[in-house]
Structure formats: structure tokens, C-alpha cells
Amino acid sequence: MGLKIGIDVGGTFTDLVYTGEKGALHVVKTPSTPDNQAVGVIAGLGKMADAEHMSLADLLNKTEVIVHGSTVATNTMLEFNGAKTGLITTRGFRDDIELRRGHKERMFDPRYPAPVPIALRRHRLTVNERIDREGKILVPLDEDEAVAQVRKLKEHGIESIAVCLLFGFLNPIHEKKIAEIIKREHPEAFISLSHEVLPQIREFERVSTTLVNAYTGPKLKKYLDSLVAELKRLGFKNDFFVMLSNGGIMNAGYAAKYAVTGLLSGPAAGVVACSQLISGQMHKPNLITVDMGGTSFDVSLIKDKRPAFATDYWFSRYRIMTPMLAIHTIGAGGGSIAWVDAGGALKVGPASAGADPGPACYGKGGNRPTVTDANLVLGYLNADYFLGGQMKLNAKAAFDSIEGKVGRPLKMDTVQAANGIFRIVNHNMSGGIRTVSIQKGYDPRDFVLVAFGGNGAVHAGLLARDLGIGSIIVPRMATAFSARGMLSSNIVINKVKTYIGTTGKYDLNVINGLIGSMKLEVEQDLPASVRRKSGFMKEVTYNYALDMYYKGELHEITIPLGSTGGVVGDENIAKAGVDFHKAHEMLHTFANHSAPVFIMNVRLETVVHTAKIPVAKLKPAGRVPKEALKGKRKVYFEEVGGFIRTAIYDGTQLSCGNAIEGPCVVEEPATNIVLFPGQQSSIDEYDNYVITL
């Protein structure tokens, strides 16, 4: 059996999970390299080869598949350092991207600035053409004008061109012609066509999504091309897949062409791991997942074993309409910087110290206090056992940074300041959990909290207590759980076509015809290795859905059609209408059962199921061994008045069935688990810490 490798590039560390030659799972962790993520990836593979006592070439030669989660597209939109982008659109629609349906995030703040433009107005050009709402050509494309506009963009140094024509999603003939002109006149340009990126109604959303794809695509393509080439040079010959935001994986060519689908790819893998390994194997249908890494805190919700999905999403103030797992991200990671604002209030995040220089305690030159520094001062971290002892932390640097930047300005004791940082970041994270649960109509008390990422288990106990959640699951592989999820991910391709009708008036032939055309597109998108039915692929399933709304509404709800046997029938449409009323009442507190339900889009999700890594159940080992107790140190617990001598356990000595009580700290090689007073934990048969409050 060949090796399988999952790689998750985070803001601070790059995590790699792989199956050894005997099938066991192993974790490698290495610092991320923001300037060129590939450097950190190759370094991690080198450490992996060393651990397996083989050369890097031999390791890659024996590797069957690599699945990679990258933050390139995400960081491009966060830092606004993408390609120099131009837009070609229908005459009269040049400013759709700025008009934005009149939407403004802060309606009552006249000084709120406009979004950072990813395509300057002088680089947004128009052509004379017009297609009507039925897809008929009213005005043929002026090809001479199109040639002139492409040449003008080339003269301006444009690297990437988005093409978004009115009703191009119904009839793409003019968009395709412009693409031909671009390839002839400016062959170096990256091309994004709206009928390929988002072939559905709503003009602003379509141009926004297509522009984001054009803005992020060149950088992601360059990165993936160079990484794949380097891997091949080093001896890798098999499948390389990229994690996408829809929770699926695809080949590098697809990921680069549709770069917008790569936003939040790493966090998506963590949600997949929770869905597959915890909801599926442990039969925990309702989960709230929290991934706290070095830079961000990512929250998602799983209901009845299905992760929440979003088909409309704001990212860096641009509208994204490609399907993605509904992940709410806030700047609350271990590297989040604590600071005092002009009014004397203590704030934490969203800015992060990142991997370089990192928190003050890393000793890399950073002097700004972070959450990790506060956790070290409070005793939750062991300065001599960070990353299993691979890295030493500087406790004095952490103390001094908090004292100088927070304690003195606020005239507080340094420990109080550290606890203030801890409390504020917990409050911020609780708010993130409320966003995906309470604001969506769900009571968090009905869910189990799953905490992963390097810092998640330090804070999870207080988050659960604050929200009334009674149970927490911390995977043993918490620090690299997203990378683990990549090895559990299926190939997933989402397609959408616009169809306007109601549940009382529709044409099944048209709906099924659209589904058939989308299936043909999927066949063309699938990598050659999958089409050849390689051992990596097990079976294919198709899931259908409709976007539905009440008359006059500006937002749709996506309603799954359930099992249709391959063809959508009247019974599926009728059930979708009933399900829409229920979903509308949950989201918006009311349903109008007598009102007609409108259909806007037909959706197809194609899932190519991949071979999964078998997970063997563990047998209970009995009582906690004496060697598991490493000793005691002072740890801060506010509810008992401050520092108390606290039991410290070596997580590597704990096994299935072992039960411990808080307050205590469990030190795993790459994460710490803090049990607060009144909490208990045991290790289950799937090697997870199960904490009860």
C-alpha cells in the first residue's frame, strides 16, 4: 500500500499527516514559510522522510496521493496582493462591482470607506453586445472593439482578465469569443469567464465572484505549478489533489482555474474530518467544530451529520457565490496580538504575529504580546515542552511583552493582564460560535463541541461552559486534524444552472435537462486518473438541490431534493416546497405556507468517494499509569482565585479508558488540553479525549 499524505499550511505552522508503510497515522509539524509556502511544505516532507528513515526521493516514490490545503487564495484576498486584474463586460455595466446592489455593510456610517478595488475603474472596459433574458442575441458582439479593449488591457500591464457579460450564463457565445481574442492578443493573461466560474443569475454576485477568481488565480496557479514541478523533480509521480472550500478535493489544474473555490480550503478539511470521523464513526450527529490555530479561529456547525453549507458569502467585502462549507472565521488564534486602543480598552486580534516573528515567547524578535504569550504566563503551556520539546519558549519574553504593552498602560498586574487577554479572546470565540448556532436558529446546548488546532483544547473548556455545552471532544491528532481530514475527503464538484419557476409551475424536462448538461460538464472536469477508475475512486453519487425563495425576497435557501434515483420527479419538487417552509421558519422565524415558492437555480453536487483509511477501535487499558503524571506546576484558574498547584499529565502515556479529573493539564506533543475545575475527561475507543462538564 502506498503512502497517503495530507498537508495543511496554516498561518504559523504547516501540518502533515501521513500513513506509514504499515498503515499507522503519523504527524509532522514544521514552521510555515509565508513568503513561499512550498519551502515549508518541502521541509515538512523532508522531516517525514527522516522519520521513516528513507530519502525524500524514496518517500515520494512510495507516495500514492498527496492532498494539499493552501492559504494562497485566502491570503491573497486578505492582503490584497493579487494579480493586476481587468474586466470586460457589457456596455453600461462597467460599475456593477461598485454599485453592489446598493449594499453597504455599515448603512449609517457615511465615512465607511469603499472596498479595496481588485480591478481599478480604468481597467474595467466594456464592449457592445447584448443577450436577452432568454439567451437570444439582441446585439452581436463587436469583435473589433473587443480586440481593441484586450489590447488596451495588455498595454496597461494587466495580468488577469475577467469576462462577465449580461446574461452570459444563459448563452456564453460572446464570452467564449472574447476568450479566443484574449488567447490570441494576450496569451500570457489568466482568463476567468463568468459562465464557467458562476453560471447563474444575479449580475453583481456573478461579476464579484468572477473578479475574485481572476484576482487570486494567477498567484495560486504559479504556486501550484511550481510545487507540483518540484515534487515531480524530487520523485513524486502520482496524484496531487488540492483541498477546496466545498469540502472536496480536486486536481491542481482545476483548483488553479477555479481559484475562488480554494478560499478557506484548510479549515474546510477540519470540518470534513469532524463529519467523517466523529459524526460518522462516533455517531455524534450534531457538532459545533472549532479550529484554533496560530492566526484564526474557524467555526462551523454539523447538523444530522451534514456540515452547514453556504452559497453566498462575503470575503474581504466581496461577494462569493460558489458553494462552500459555512465556516465563520475570526482573528482569534494563538498568535493574535493583544493591544490597548486609544480609549484604554484591551483588545485581542484580529492582527496576528504569524509564523515570523511569531509570539514574543518564540524568541524570533517579536515583542508584541499574543494569546500564546498569555497562555504561557498563566501556566497552560510548558516552556520546555512546546511541540513535544522540539521548540523552547521564552517565558520571560512573554511576561515582559504583556507587562510592557498591556499591564503598564492599563495599570494592571501582569498576571491580571494575561488573564484579561485570555478572557477577551474567549469572549470573541464564544461570539463566533453564537454566529453559526444561535443566529441560525440552533441552540448550542444541543451540540457537542469538537476542538482542534494547536490551541483549541486550551480554551474549549471555558467556551463550552460559557455556552452551556455539556460535552467536548478533542481528537488526539487535534493539532493536525485538518490535514487528517484531507485524507478522508472525497472528490467533490459543484455545478449550478439557473431555472425560474415555482413549485406549482415548472417543467421537469427542462430541470432534468439542466442536470444532464451539468453531469457532462463534471465528466470533463474530472482528472484523468479518476475517469480511468483508479483504485483511489470507489463510487460516484449525485446530489440535487434547488435554490428557493418567496416572492420579493433577495436571498434564497438551498433545499436538497433527497434521493431521486437519478431523475427529479414531481414528488421531489413537492417535498422541496415543504422543506423550504420549514427551513425559512428556522432561519427567519416565520413561514407563509399559502404563498407560492419560487425556484431560481438547480444545483448538482457530484461526489466521487475515495478509499478511506481504516480506523481500528482501541481496547480499554484500565487505570491511569503512574508514569502518566509528570508532576505539578502552578496554573491559573480564575474560578478558584488564581494560581494553584495543578497535575500535569503526559498525554503520550494515556490510553483508551483512562479517566482524569480537572483541574489539570494534559501535554500532548503538539497541543495542550486544559481541564478546568469540575470537568472530567476520558479517552474513548477512537483515541479522542471526551470531556464532560
- Check whether residue 324 and residue 367 sit in a common domain: no
Closest CA to 380 of 365, 395, 390: 395
DSSP reduced 3-state for 263: coil
Find the CATH number of the domain harbouring 536: 3.30.1490
Residue 395: half-sphere exposure toward Cβ, Cα within 13 Å? 13
Closest CA to 442 of 276, 578, 286: 286
- Check whether residue 596 and residue 502 sit in a common domain: yes
Closest CA to 608 of 485, 482, 483, 489: 489
Q: What's the residue count for the chain?
A: 693
Find the CATH number of the domain harbouring 202: 3.40.50
The DSSP element (H or E) to which 60 belongs, if any, is helix 56-61
Nearest-angstrom CA–CA distance, 177 and 180: 5
Using the 3D structure, point to which of 610, 635, 665 is the last residue of a domain: 610
Is 345 domain-assigned?
no
- Residue 331 pLDDT: 85
Cβ-contact 225, 256 below 8 angstroms: yes
- Check whether residue 586 and residue 514 sit in a common domain: yes
Entry pTM? 0.88
Cβ-contact 262, 82 below 8 angstroms: no
Using the 3D structure, point to which of 262, 282, 317 is the last residue of a domain: 262
Using the 3D structure, point to which of 185, 216, 247 is the last residue of a domain: 216
Domains: count for the chain? 6
- Residue 33 pLDDT: 85
287 phi and psi, to 5 degrees?
Answer: -130, 145
Is 137 domain-assigned?
yes
Is 22 domain-assigned?
yes
Is 500 domain-assigned?
yes
- Check whether residue 103 and residue 155 sit in a common domain: yes
DSSP reduced 3-state for 564: coil
Find the CATH number of the domain harbouring 274: 3.30.420.40
- Check whether residue 602 and residue 637 sit in a common domain: no
- Check whether residue 411 and residue 505 sit in a common domain: no
Is 666 domain-assigned?
yes
**CB-based contacts of 233, cutoff 8 Å, min separation 6:** none
- Check whether residue 449 and residue 321 sit in a common domain: yes
Beta bridge partners of 290: 299, 451
Is 621 domain-assigned?
no
Residue 489 burial (C-beta neighbours within 10 Å; 0-12, 13-18, 19+): buried
Nearest-angstrom CA–CA distance, 212 and 200: 16
Cβ neighbour number for residue 76 with a 10 Å cutoff: 25
Nearest-angstrom CA–CA distance, 409 and 353: 20
- Check whether residue 92 and residue 180 sit in a common domain: yes
Nearest-angstrom CA–CA distance, 65 and 58: 14
What are the mean pLDDT values of the chain's consecutive 10-residue runs (693 residues total)? 86 84 79 87 93 92 92 87 97 93 81 92 97 95 97 97 96 97 97 96 95 96 94 92 94 94 89 90 91 89 91 90 91 91 91 84 91 96 87 93 95 95 96 94 95 92 96 92 91 94 95 94 81 62 95 92 82 95 92 95 92 83 89 94 95 93 92 95 93 93
- Check whether residue 495 and residue 576 sit in a common domain: yes
Cβ-contact 461, 635 below 8 angstroms: no
Nearest-angstrom CA–CA distance, 235 and 250: 21
Is 296 domain-assigned?
yes
- Residue 366 pLDDT: 86
- Check whether residue 169 and residue 248 sit in a common domain: no
- Check whether residue 66 and residue 114 sit in a common domain: no
Mind giving me the DSSP string for 303-347?
ETTEE-EES-EEETTEEE-S-EE--EEES-STTEEEEE-TTS-EE
- Check whether residue 306 and residue 208 sit in a common domain: no
Domain holding 36, by residue range, is 3-76+222-262
Is 561 domain-assigned?
yes
Q: Which amino acid is at 444?
A: P
